[in-house]
Structure formats: structure tokens, C-alpha cells
Structure 1
Amino acid sequence: MNSPTEAEFIDHWREMRPNVIDGFIKLKLVHAEKTSLLVPELLAADLGGMRWFQPKFFYAPQLSFWDGFSAADIGIEVSGGPLVKVGFTSGGFVASLSDSSQVYRCVISAPADLARSADGTCSLEPSGDFRLDLFHHTTDQAAQAIQSSGHFRGSDWNMQGTRALKNVAYAYFTSLQRITSEQDLAKIAMASTGFIGLLKTNTASAKEDIRLKVYRQSTLDRTATVPVSVPASLVASQHVYLHSAIGQAVYYEACNPDIYRVGLQPGKVAPFMDGVLNVPDADRKRFEYLVLGDADTEAGLIAPYDEEETKSLLHIEACTQQTLFDFWRSHANSDQMAGRAPELLVFNDGGQA
């Protein structure tokens, strides 16, 4: 194909792949040493109502630059299971959001029953942001207190639930509609035993799992549910695993894709009205990096849970004045790490990420 128009490119993309539907993709441009990467955070499509899909595994994108437009192809395995192919172009730009992400119209090649794999329902706001229908599971007494107060209080605990944070509190939500089993608890980084198992990428047996201490809870403490719609731009970036499987292409994994955290300034709360979370700008807390854990090492597997590891970070590029494509092309083969000194998590026990 020689210098197609943008419309011709999309038409050709549709012709070459089965079961193509229109949708939206939310993603961030991040940098590490000798690496830049597009991290997909959300897929959405109107499938008898707007539904959203959480990317679980994904490959590095294939970018192409043509006369007058740019394009990207990404292979994504959504949280529900199927592998989908996603294509989008610079002309599909919808919005730059306050969390340094961008939203694009896209085309998605997926199984015909993709709707069954949706993580939940959502709505698209005029700003280009998405409102995700999420859940907060707790005790009956706590749920009544939340409804009466009209706000969620932040938790001081890190993702692992074992260390208190000093410079941020998180309101925790999940896409899981209920918590009824040990498997559900593990998906929100909890366990009735106080431990979960993690497997290295190239491990030979499940018997080689690494025992990780997590917040000890029972399903009996998660019997009441408070539903709430949360703007996607309020959700903290999910940490990422790097998988270098023997004999396979390198791929990435969103760590804890069923957990959705909203960062708050210490002492602040996350108010909601008419079922919609609305945190004032001054009360929000956001960090401009993700932890990148090498999933074939014990330290790398633990890092996204403990959140203190800072030797391997993905630094988020804001891109407020141009598209991700324009930034990528105008900064090609250049150092994007020099001078980056983001605020890091600070722990009450004296440790600092």
C-alpha cells in the first residue's frame, strides 16, 4: 500500500480482519531506559449499550507514519479472555484527559461474542472521558456510613495492603460485581490466609509460586456493595509486568486489572452525588509514573504490590499540546529520561519508593 489516505487505511484494516467493530481506546505514552511504549488502559464499544474492557495483556504497538496521518496497531488480551486486534489513527483523536492519557476512536477485530467479556458498562462524556460503573465492597455497617456521608474515605495502605503510605490515600473500587470466593479476594489483592501466590514468566510448575503477604480478609467482610460511576481520568495508572517468555515475543501485563484506585491528598475524601464520583481538583493526588516489574524475577513480581521499587519505572508523558503520534515522531530516537524526577510514594515506616 503506497501512501493511502487515512480513510483508505482504515477501510483496508477492516477488510483484512474479521468481525471489526468501532470503538474507543484510552492509552498513555510512557518512557523507560531505551524504551518508549503505548500502554492501553481501556477499550470501549457500543454493543447494545456502551461496554468497557480492561486490557490484561498487550504487546508493544506497531506504529506507521504516512503522508498526512499516523497509525497504530496493538494486540490486546482483555480481562475477560479473548485476544483482540486494535487499530487507530491520528485523525481519530478524541481528547487529552487530565491524567495524561489520550482517547482515540479505533477499530477492533474481536470474537463476535465480545460483549460477554466486558468488564462493565460505561458512558462517554462530552469531554471524551469515560464514566466506569464500578463497585466498592465492604460490610453492611460501612456501606450505610458511606451512603449517609456521601463520600468514600481513602485508605493509607499500598497495593499489597501491608505498608501505610504518607503522601497519598486511595479510594478503592473494583469491576467485580461481588466478592464471593478466594479467587475474587485474590483479584483485589486480598486473601483469607493472608497470602497469595505469584508465578514467574518461565516457571516450570505452579509448585514454584512465590508466596506474597497481602491484606488478610474474608468474603464475609465484603457482603455489602456500593455502586458508583467513576471518571476514568480519576483512576490511578495500573502498574505493569514485563514478560520475556522463552521462544515468544515480549509482552506486557496490567498488574491487578480488577483494582481501580482513586488517589487523594492525605485527609481528603472522594465525594459522590447521584451515584457519580466527583473529586475536586485540589483534593486529587496523582503520580506520573508506573512501576515496571520484571515478571521472571521474584523482586519484579513483588514490586507492583509493594510499590517501593523505583529502579524500573515507566514515566508518563503528558502530551497536552500534541497527539501521542506527533510527540513520538518529533522526539524520535531521543533521550526521554534525562531530568525526570517524579514525586514518589513515601511510606510511614520511613521507606520511600
Structure 2
Amino acid sequence: MKENYQFDRTELEKSNLYNTIRGGAGIGNTKFEGFFKCKLVHCEMFSIIVPDLIYIMDDDENFSWFQHYSFLPNHLHKFTEEEIYGTINIDIAWGHTLTISISNEWHIDNFQDNSNLFKCRITGPENLLEYSTGKGKVIEGKPYINLYHHTTEEVKKLIEQSSDYIGSVWNYQGTKELKSLCFAYFTSLDKIIQDQDLVQIAMGHEGEIFLIKDVTQEIIKLEVYREKTLNRKATLCQLIDSTILMSNPILMHTQDDLSYVYYERSNPFVYRVGLEPKKKLPFFNGVIQRTENVHTADHIILGDATTELGLIAIFDEENTKQVFKIEPFYETKTNILKFWFDNNNNNNDLYTAKKINIPKFNNS
């Protein structure tokens, strides 16, 4: 038996057991200097900060990054026009929780995906770097992260020969075809060996996975793409511009005693690049940069984990009833912290007037 800190699992001879309990190890007391990429999103009733990427520099160019699994609502404080601070608790591997602290002064840039990049202070366990998920590199001011694409040897050779990925028309669930969008799929998992690894990338050996409703604990069976680990033995590793990666759907969880809510990044081991219909995603020397083919999302799927429809929503974009609309920050001089206090104090409606493009499906 091996405890894999990188991928948040216990490895047995014939199975990988992924952890599902969050926050059990608490917050450590060691301080680190790092960077935090995030988005501000709105639903009909409230706004929250959604984490995108957390990383700590190894040297002047290279860094270690941490995959997050769930997070709590953020807390913001304003003392003067320039002294604005924010904190957010974020769950990473093996039950550890990080406290991320940002400030108006530490704002660095706004990217084309409408995310903000902040320098941040990270409070966590003393051995935090042991829980890093992967490596990355800063290129021209943007964080790039190493991700993997697993396929057959035959398809791997075709991808290498063409130096691009053909966008898939299949949705998250792998059961419906899109016509307004396609995706290049990647994962932070370096290998697909056990059936449990397939589940982590929204596939199933038997073509089904199981979800659990909050509070009632009712089990929901969901049809997904049927696959075998034998078809995922060949691997490509790419260094990908993190600003072209779409934010994963989010599940809003209600604690069983109804005392509080928290948010889960669904299918955390899945990473998608949205592309315009019938377009390809090129790479050069193992690096994937933003091209004109890349689709910039204007919303994030939101599912209520107390309902069956909410649980299914994170896989089935066509029938989603709730979304977070992303606040557009690209090419603006403000940032999330300043914007929050300039707009939310007056209870401005930041949701209704924002127009978004919901994906369109074939035969729908």
C-alpha cells in the first residue's frame, strides 16, 4: 500500500482508492509565498471567487502547482481605497486546507479568460510541497502547467505527426454531441492504470458512475462514456497555457446538518480546452499556447448537490438550470477586490444583464 500525495489516493496492487473527505487535516501554520489565479463569478443571489490555479515558484521560471478539490466562500475586507484584502480556504490533497490571502497591492494581471492573477500568502502544512500535483513554467507572464493526454499508441502517433489535437464533440458525460463547441481533453493524472483512474476522468469500465445527494444520501446512477484502461496506455505530456483551460463545473454542497455550504470543483482531474466547432488545438515542442481557435467561456456550470438535477448538471450542460456568470476583467485596470467593493456594496445586479452563450447540442 502506498499513499500518493500527488494524486490524493491510496494505491493498492489492483486498485487506486481516491480520497473524498476534505478538510480533515485542518489548516497548518506554515507560511509560503505563492501565486493565485482566480475568477469572480455571479449567480442570481450572490457572487464568489472561484479558484483556478495555486502555485509556488521553484526558481525564477518554474513552479509547483496544487490541484484544489473544494473551497469555502471568500472573506473580503476594505480599510482604505488601496488597502483591500481577501482570504479563501481551499482544500487540497489528503484533507489539507490552505488559507490563501490576497490584497489589492498584490494584483499582477488580468488574463484573456477574465481571471485575475495575484501574488498571495499561503498558510498550510509544513511539508506543503509534497502535496503538489505537478510542475509548470511562467512564459511571458502567464502560468503554463504540465498536463497529460492518454490514448492508444496508434492515435498518439497520429497526434505527434500532425502536431495538433482534434477537438472532441462529446460533452463531459460522453453521451451527447455538441454542435457549437468542441473540446481537447487533458488530465493531471500521469497514467491511467486502474478502473478508478477512469472514473476520475469521467469514464467508466461499465459505462456508469454513481453520485450521492447531500443530506438524503440518495445514490444516483449516471451513464458515462464506456472505456477500458487498455485504450489509455499511450501518453502525451503538454505544457499548456493555463488561461485557455476552462473552469470545471462547480457543485454547491449543503452540509448534512444544514449548517453551511461549500463548493466542490467537479471532476477535478479533468481539464478541458474549449475550441470553436471543427477546429484543432496545435502544439509546438510540447507547448500549447492560445490560438484564435480557442473558445473563451463566459460562464461556469453550477449544480446543487441536494438535488438529482443539480448533480447531473455538472455532466450534462444541455439541461443545466443554474450557472455562474464570469465577470469580464480582461483589458480592464481594476481587479476582483476593488471591483467587489465598487459594486457589491450597493447590491448591484451583476447577473441578469450579462449575456452568455450556452452550448448547443445536436438533436436538441
TM-score, with length taken from structure 1? 0.90
Q: Tell me which residue corresponds to 1:140.
A: 153
Q: Note if contact 1:94-1:105 (Cα within 8 Å) is conserved in structure 2.
A: yes
Structure 2: distance between partners of 1:345 and 1:133? 27
Q: Tell me which residue corresponds to 2:167.
A: 154
Are residues 1:61 and 2:74 paired? yes
Structure 1: distance between partners of 2:136 and 2:213? 34
Where 1:330 maps in the other structure, the secondary structure is helix
Q: Tell me which residue corresponds to 1:348.
A: 362
Where 1:112 maps in the other structure, the secondary structure is coil
Where 2:358 maps in the other structure, the secondary structure is coil
Where 2:313 maps in the other structure, the secondary structure is helix
Are residues 1:212 and 2:222 paired? yes
Question: Which ranges of structure 1 fall in alignment gaps of 5 or more residues?
Answer: 1-15
Report deviation, 1:164.
0.2
User: How far does the alpha carbon of each residue in 1:252-276 deviate from its partner, in whole angstroms, 9 at most, with x for none?
Assistant: 0001111110111111100000100
Q: Tell me which residue corresponds to 1:86.
A: 100
The one-letter amino acid of 1:36's match is S
Structure 2: distance between partners of 1:81 and 1:235? 25
Q: Tell me which residue corresponds to 1:278.
A: 289
Q: Tell me which residue corresponds to 1:106.
A: 120
The one-letter amino acid of 1:323's match is N
- Of 335, 339, 350, which residue of structure 2 is paired with 1:323? 335
- Of 170, 194, 197, which residue of structure 1 is paired with 2:183? 170
- Of 258, 262, 266, which residue of structure 2 is paired with 1:255? 266
Where 1:143 maps in the other structure, the secondary structure is helix
- Of 33, 39, 63, which residue of structure 2 is paired with 1:28? 39
Deviating more after overlay: 24-33 vs 243-252: 243-252
Give the 3 Å change call, closer, same or farther, for CA 81–148 of structure 1 in structure 2.
farther
Structure 1: distance between partners of 2:45 and 2:216? 27
Q: Tell me which residue corresponds to 2:353.
A: 339
Q: Tell me which residue corresponds to 2:13.
A: none
User: How far does the alpha carbon of each residue in 1:223-258 deviate from its partner, in whole angstroms, 9 at most, with x for none?
Assistant: 000110110001012110001113342100001111
Alignment: residue pair count: 330
Structure 2: distance between partners of 1:113 and 1:209? 36
Structure 1: distance between partners of 2:221 and 2:28? 42
Report deviation, 1:114.
1.5
Structure 2: distance between partners of 1:346 and 1:286? 15
Report deviation, 1:202.
2.2
Structure 2: distance between partners of 1:264 and 1:79? 30
Q: Note if contact 2:210-2:220 (Cα within 8 Å) is conserved in structure 1.
A: yes
Structure 1: distance between partners of 2:47 and 2:246? 20
Structure 2: distance between partners of 1:73 and 1:249? 18
Where 2:314 maps in the other structure, the secondary structure is helix
- Of 307, 313, 319, which residue of structure 1 is paired with 2:323? 313
Q: Tell me which residue corresponds to 1:3.
A: none
Where 1:305 maps in the other structure, the secondary structure is coil
The one-letter amino acid of 2:335's match is T
Q: Note if contact 1:160-1:306 (Cα within 8 Å) is conserved in structure 2.
A: yes
Structure 1: distance between partners of 2:221 and 2:252? 19
TM-score, with length taken from structure 2? 0.88
Structure 2: distance between partners of 1:72 and 1:236? 24
Q: Tell me which residue corresponds to 2:298.
A: 288
Q: Note if contact 1:80-1:119 (Cα within 8 Å) is conserved in structure 2.
A: no
Q: Note if contact 1:47-1:115 (Cα within 8 Å) is conserved in structure 2.
A: no
Report deviation, 1:287.
2.3
The one-letter amino acid of 1:41's match is D
Where 2:351 maps in the other structure, the secondary structure is coil
User: How far does the alpha carbon of each residue in 1:179-226 deviate from its partner, in whole angstroms, 9 at most, with x for none?
Assistant: 00111100100011000011112244xxx4211100000000000001
Question: Which ranges of structure 2 fall in alignment gaps of 5 or more residues?
Answer: 1-26
Q: Note if contact 1:171-1:264 (Cα within 8 Å) is conserved in structure 2.
A: yes
- Of 246, 251, 271, which residue of structure 2 is paired with 1:236? 246
Q: Note if contact 1:291-1:309 (Cα within 8 Å) is conserved in structure 2.
A: no
Structure 1: distance between partners of 2:311 and 2:136? 31
Report deviation, 1:341.
2.2
